Amino acid sequence: MICDGKRNILGILVDVVDYAGVVEAIIQAAKEHRGLAVATVPVHAVMEGVLSPQHKYRLNHLDLLTPDGQPVRWALNILHRAQLTERVYGPHLTLRVCASAEREKLGVFFYGNTEEVLLGLRQNLERKFPRLVISGMQPSHFRRLRPEERARVAQEIRGSGASIVFVGLGCPRQDVWAYEYREILSLPIVAVGGAFGVLAGKVAQAPKWMQDRGLEWLFRLGSEPRRLWRRYLLLNPIYAVLVALQAVGLRRFTTDGDRPTTEVLYG
């Protein structure tokens, strides 16, 4: 198990951690009924923090940021000699947490995506983990919420008896959600990106050889070019250049951000 603290990647504090370390932290927090905000961060999530001082602040005030993308893991190894041998990928993390939650009899709640995806997710999880307690599911509203709506969402999650909440709103909305709900819910929040769609069988995954070589972005770009071209054709090269500059000491990146003065209330 590896859980060796945070390291600076372009000003974003990503944790040197593996699956076992993240799962243990989540399960322990769930047993103790205390908050723990976790987000899986690919390159896109890091760059959102680089480009927005407010979002940098949010990310750096979450409890755990896991290296979801291979380029983020590589950066930890290059910049900080982390010696991580695998990333902590949202869909795989979800399954590992659910397996532990089933053993420990801890209820889980899923927030985000669509009714159709959540139905497929429930069916697949119930087949894989027949004793897993799924305390509740709620689809995204796909808009900003009013304060009273946010309060109702929190009330429903707390009232469900869940011990762990998975959030699948996509980046950066899910990271904002985790930041804004972390104290309201006071239980582990795990932001897992597109895991819901993948585990529901609605979103295709790149072949393992592409994932291992950091080419998952190319597979996704080919699947959704109009939606993802900016993310991958602009942000990925900028990320690579900035990491190289940090590695040779030509750029330094502070971890200070600007504390958000208003809430976004994504839902």
For position 167, what pLDDT does the model report? Answer: 98
What are the C-alpha distances in Å from 125 to residues 112, 214, 233, 258?
16, 27, 34, 39
Q: With bands split at pLDDT 50, 70 and 90, how would you rate the model's confidence at 71? A: very high
Contact 98, 107 (CB under 8 A): no
The two structure tokens encoding residue 66: 């896991």
Name the more confident of 39 and 4.
39
Torsion of CA 171, 174, 179, 180, to 10 degrees: 130
What's this model's pTM, rounded to 2 decimal places?
Answer: 0.94
* pLDDT tens-digit series, residues 211-241: 888 778 777 767 777 776 777 788 899 999 9
Res 227: pLDDT: 78
Are the C-beta atoms of residues 41 and 67 closer than 8 Å to each other? Answer: yes
Q: Is the pLDDT of residue 128 over 80?
A: yes
pLDDT at position 243: 97
Please give the domain boundaries of the chain with CATH numbers for all domains.
3-199 (3.40.50)
Average pLDDT of the chain, as a whole number? 93
Give the E-state strand segments of 57-211 in sequence order: 64-67, 108-111, 134-138, 164-167, 188-191
Q: pLDDT at position 266, please?
A: 84
The residues that bridge with 64 in the sheet, in sequence order, are 38
The residue type at 122: R
pLDDT of residue 217: 73
Question: Residue 183: how many CB atoms within 10 A of its CB?
Answer: 9
Q: Is the dihedral of CA 147, 151, 152, 153 positive or negative?
A: positive
Encode pLDDT of 155-208 as tens digits.
999 999 999 999 999 889 999 999 999 999 999 999 998 999 999 998 878 788
